[in-house]
Amino acid sequence: MAFEKLKKDVEAAKRNDPAARSGAEILFAYPGVRALILHRRAAFLWRHGHKFLARLVAEHARRKTGIEIHPAAKIAAGVFIDHGAGVVIGETAEVEEGVVIYQGVTLGGTGKECGKRHPTIGRNVRIGAGAKLLGGFTVGAGANIGAGAVVLREVPPHATAVGVPARIIERGPRIGDHEDGI
């Protein structure tokens, strides 16, 4: 199972990075892939009640990769974190398959509220560099979030959100997408 997830992560990097030359290069030289490997270890520990050890693994991952992912965050296989420096993914965040996250992205909360306080990111979403998605809302499948956008509420499927605060500038499938958002 772990190998299948890793294989999907490497395939996502190949699919989304034209500079990727080989699986070995991706596996050993891509901090986003390394961060996901370490996140899965931390998440395993977290789910099995070893919260302190999970946080230590997550802290090690942050120091090695510059990517901070809370051990309780749910991240599907086949997610690509490109470059990754400064990416922060909060405790109740959920990220589905096919998502591409660029450097400096935050999937965070807006304060000390309880419960679901970080975003859920649907399949095949692209989140531009420096975007901040803050709160417990959903970004629909196939959406685009522009670089530097500050998203504070739900984004419909196949929409494009830009600006501070973000506003929807386009709705509908991206060119090349299938009707089901895959």
CATH of the domain at 93: 2.160.10.10
Domain extent, residue 91, equals 2-170
How many other CB atoms sit within 10 Å of the CB of residue 146?
A: 18
Q: Is 177 a domain residue? A: no
Tell which phi-psi region holds residue 155, choosing left (phi > 0), alpha (psi between -120 and 50) or beta.
beta
Q: For residue range 37-90, list pLDDT tens digits in order.
A: 999 999 999 999 999 999 999 999 999 999 999 999 999 999 999 998 999 999
Residue-wise pLDDT tens digits, 129-143 = 999 999 999 999 999
Who has greater pLDDT, 126 or 174? Answer: 126
In a domain, 182, yes or no: no
Q: What is the pLDDT of residues 75-118, one digit of tens each?
A: 999 999 999 899 999 999 999 999 999 999 999 998 877 889 99
Q: For residues 46 and 72, give the distance between their C-alpha atoms in angstroms, rounded to a whole number.
A: 7
Determine, yes or no, domain membership for 181: no
Q: Is residue 45 part of a domain?
A: yes
Q: What is the pLDDT of residues 6-29, one digit of tens each?
A: 999 999 999 999 999 999 999 999
In a domain, 175, yes or no: no
Q: What is the pLDDT of residue 173?
A: 65
Task: Kindly list the distances between the CA atom of residue 31 and the CA atoms of 7, 38, 66, 114, 168, in Å, as whole numbers in the listed order.
Answer: 15, 10, 8, 31, 31
Does residue 26 lie in a domain region?
Answer: yes
10 is a domain residue: yes
Residue 120: beta bridge partners? 94, 138
Query: For residue 49, is it within any domain?
Result: yes
pTM: 0.89
Q: Which residues pair with 108 in a beta bridge?
A: 134
pLDDT band at 181 (very low <50, low <70, confident <90, very high): very low
Q: Give the count of domains, the chain.
A: 1
